[in-house]
Amino acid sequence: MALNSNLQIDGDRLWDALMEMAKIGPGVAGGNNRQTLTDEDGEGRKLFQSWAEAAGMTMGVDTMGNMFFRREGADLDALPVYVGSHLDTQPTGGKYDGVLGVLGALELVRTLNDLNIKTRHPIVVTNWTNEEGTRFAPAMLASGVFAGVHEEDWAKARLDAKGKSFGEELKRIGWEGEEPVGARKMKAFFELHIEQGPILEDEGLDIGVVTHGQGLYWLEVTLTGKESHTGSTPMPKRRNAGLGMARVTELVHEVAMDYQPNAVGAIGHVEVYPNSRNIIPGKCVFTVDIRSPSKETLDTMRERIEDGIDTIAEALDIDVSVDEVGHFDPVTFDEACVKAVRNAAERLGLSHTDIVSGAGHDACWINRVAPTAMVMCPCVDGLSHNEAEEITKEWAANGANVLLQAVVETAGVVE
Ligand code: HGY
Ligand code: MN
Ligand code: MN
């Protein structure tokens, strides 16, 4: 069967699956709180497993809890085409970030089953553990181990805010697999994801053909001053870590603004000790998140911010330490895979544009070990990492149809 625009997924079935999965780990404002390796994550994994096995796929799980569901191809020895994303969410996350990519891949297989289409290469639907990095830093942790970026022991020793380790939590929810992580070889990897930015919606475009992903640093900064009474400590005698954090927050913003229109910078995670109304903060721990599509700009921003932090600490007589807890350089996705995505959008008559991903994705790491590309669909107001994250059924279906066509083009149709 030649690939043509008649090959389309069932948009209602995809939407129903998204709404069903969204019931697990509900947020408080219509989104989701299904953080990695929580009981809710375990429940979501079980639901996904039941659907994937009902679609005739066989499951494999590796030692980082990455889930793989294989649909056999005509050529049993051919390297599979992998397709997927992540089911874990932010604490105040949306229903579609990551989930659309996993359930869009499931829908792709369900559609091939309905139409009795056999591909030459097997297809493997994937759920990567801990893409968000919000409970266990850094982001894309398990796909990073798979791609050989992180050592498995280091990853399993990562602690959450309550001092629980990734490894013990993975065991606790019963999803530590047997497969050695990274042993699987891929012909290609495709990931469907919401844009998490405003470009596609603002320009009225259906599809983002992701050519690059911007680079990122997560710098965990610890400022140590001296706890003392907010009422009786004279201003000149204060060693105020909270004031230091405020100045660093401003510094990060100013540096990012110097490299517009693409650079970004903010501080999203903050811990203030002892966090008492009438004690001057003795210690602040926070994470600087800076990103740019240009490696040179990213490194310059990091240098300027670290120098600025030293100046601020000296002026306030506070101590400082900076730990890199996350980093990846800007990513260029595989030309042939990107072309398959672009061909798919054209074949389907969908408007599209090349786009650089602002967010990090598992695809950014998998691109190191296999030819990789991403498909993006719009999201309302470009909003994500917010419970109000929204997409339309049509946008979801367009994205999943492009994913289907790109994967089938790459896997080859036998009958
Ligand atoms: O941080 C990111 O870019 C991704 O959402 N984990
Ligand atoms: Mn995501
Ligand atoms: Mn996310």
DSSP character string of 129-191: S--S-SSSSSSSHHHHHHTTSS-HHHHHT-B-TTS-BHHHHHHHTT---SBPTT----SEEEE
* C-alpha of 250 from chain center: 26
What is the Cα–Cα distance from 223 to 241, expressed in whole angstroms? 6
Ligand 3 center from residue 97 Cα (angstroms): 6
Residue 4 has pLDDT above 90, yes or no: no
Report pTM.
0.94
| Tens of pLDDT, residues 274-302 | 999 999 999 999 999 999 999 999 999 99
| Letter string b/e over residues 189-227, b meaning 16 or more CB atoms within 10 A of that residue's CB | bbbbbbbbbebbbeeebbbbbbbbbbbbbbbbbebbbbb
Q: What is the mean pLDDT of the chain?
A: 97
Which atom in ligand 1 lies closest to the alpha carbon of residue 359?
3
Q: How confident is the model at residue 6 (pLDDT cuts 50, 70, 90)?
A: confident
The pLDDT tens digits of the residues spanning 16-73 come to: 999 999 999 999 999 999 999 999 999 999 999 999 999 999 999 999 999 999 999 9
Answer yes or no: is the C-beta of 206 below 6 A from any ligand 1 atom: no
Atom from ligand 1 closest to the CA of residue 196: 5
Q: Is 215 in the pocket of ligand 1 (CB under 6 A)?
A: no
88 lines ligand 1 (CB under 6 A): no
Tokens 């610890």 — which residue?
A: 222
User: For ligand 2, a single-atom ion, which residues have Cβ within 5 Å?
Assistant: 97-98
pLDDT mean over 223-228: 98
Mean pLDDT of 144-158: 98
Distance (angstroms) between ligand 3 centre and the Cα of 367 equals: 18
Cβ(101) – ligand 1 distance below 6 Å:
no
pLDDT tops 90 at residue 2 = no
Ligand 1 mutation target, pool 131, 327, 376, most atoms within 8 A of CB: 131
Summarize the confidence of residues 357-384 as an average pLDDT: 98
Looking at ligand 1, which residue's alpha carbon is closest to its atom 6? 132
Distance 168 CA to ligand 2 centre (A): 24
Question: Ligand 1 centre and the CA of 342: distance in Å?
Answer: 24
pLDDT digits (tens, 9 = 90+) for 165-207: 999 999 999 999 999 999 999 999 999 999 999 999 999 999 9
